[in-house]
Amino acid sequence: MLVYDITNAKSFESLESWREEFLLQGQPKDPDNFPFVVIGNKSDRAEDKKVPILFKVEFQYVQQWCKTKGKIQGFEASAKESTNVESAFLAIAKSASS
């Protein structure tokens, strides 16, 4: 699972290095098909006017990034409002058991 803050573009930019570091340290048998799931946290703040637009991560960019990495699923979630949290974790469990 890779988690970024949708109100912090730098955290999204770090996904690649976090993924690479995991693959290096974890050494999975099939790194090209490892079942990662990307979760954009704080979706409850997506429309928050206090967060500058330059810092927000549009979900379409996340979907494009996930596509370039294979079968990675992307979710926007809010732990605060419990939105998509269960769906993301169910996707993780399903992809891990496949």
What is the pTM assigned to this prediction?
Answer: 0.84
Q: What is the DSSP string of 27-94?
A: --S-GGG---EEEEE-GGGTT-TTS-GGG---HHHHHHHHHHTSS-EEEE-BTTTTBSHHHHHHHHHH
Domains and CATH numbers, the chain: 2-97 (3.40.50.300)
Tens of pLDDT along the chain (98 residues)?
899 998 888 999 999 999 999 999 999 998 888 888 999 998 888 776 666 556 778 899 999 999 998 878 999 999 899 899 999 889 888 877 76
